[in-house]
Amino acid sequence: MNLTTDQYYIEKTMQGDTQAFGVLVERYQDFIYTITLRMVKNREEAEEVAQDSFIKAFESLASFRGESKFSSWLYSIAYRKALDRLRQQQRKRTTQLVEEATEGDAVLVENALHYLEAKERSEIIQEAIMKLPEEEAAIITFYYFEAQSVKEIAAITSLTEDNVKIKLFRSRKKLYTLLKQFVIPEITKYNGQAI
């Protein structure tokens, strides 16, 4: 595993070594694709948005001042590119009304997830996240999968920290409700088995 810092590759790129930027692309391409996919909800478009994000990052690299982590700066570019794509398409997405989740539901979902195989659990979580509205899917992804702090997410999304907290709270409730649709049948199946 290559532990050379992002800053090393940024400096090499700025000195004209374009292959150094390729290392940064390789390092972050999976997550950038994931975040764009969760926002635009289409694989081909997500690939295009991810590619556009790296092109924008390469072209704007001189403006990266190191005030935040390079990854946060890159995520911010991808987030904005995905929002731009959504605006261009002027999609009229109808978000299902999601029933309110209770604390008991959250515990029920968490307990039930322990019964599922790791791969199946991951697929169910990914599918549920894809059903969230674009911005909420991005925020959940930044927070849980990329371990970004509320402050970092606020910087990436240009939202206030309070707004990020509110969106995280609401997104978690929606996610629990969506997961409940997948998990309740699993609990029933598990409890019905003879042990």
* Angle at alpha carbon of residue 169, lines to 69 and 137, rounded to 5°: 60
Residue with the two structure tokens 């694989």: 43
Q: Print the domain residue range for 38.
A: 6-89
Provide the greatest CA pair distance for the chain. 66
What does the angle CA 137 – CA 76 – CA 2 come to, to the nearest 5 degrees?
100
Residues 71 and 134 in one domain: no
Prediction pTM value: 0.65
- The reply to whether 45 and 126 lie within a common domain is no
Final residue of a structural domain among 45, 60, 89: 89
Cβ(107)–Cβ(187) under 8 Å?
no
The predicted structure's pLDDT at residue 179: 81
Tell me how long the chain is.
195
* Residue 70 CB contacts under 8 Å (≥ 6 apart), including other chains: 6, 7, 10, 24, 64
- Residues 56-82: what's their mean pLDDT? 92
75 and 46 inside one domain:
yes
Q: Which of 15-19, 102-106, 171-175 has the highest mean pLDDT?
A: 15-19
Would you say residue 56 has pLDDT above 90?
A: yes
Q: What is the pLDDT of residues 123-141, one digit of tens each?
A: 778 888 888 888 899 998 8
> Is the domain of 84 the same as that of 114?
no
Q: Based on the fold, state whether residues 25 and 63 are members of the same structural domain.
A: yes
In a domain, 37, yes or no: yes
* Count of domains forming the chain: 2
Helix (H/G/I), strand (E/B), else coil: 92: coil
What Cα–Cα distance (Å) separates residue 165 from each residue in 145, 149, 153?
16, 10, 10
The CATH number for 34's domain is 1.10.1740.10
* Residue at 50: amino acid letter: A
Q: With bands split at pLDDT 50, 70 and 90, how would you rate the model's confidence at 25?
A: very high
Return mean pLDDT, the chain: 81
pLDDT value at 152 more than 90: yes
Segment 92-116, tens digit of pLDDT: 443 443 444 555 565 556 555 555 5
**Within a domain: residue 127?**
yes
Q: Taking residues 84-92, what's their average pLDDT? A: 72
Averaged over 4-13, what is the pLDDT? 92
Q: Which pLDDT belongs to residue 175? A: 84
pLDDT at 190 over 70: no
Q: Is 95 part of a structural domain of the chain?
A: no
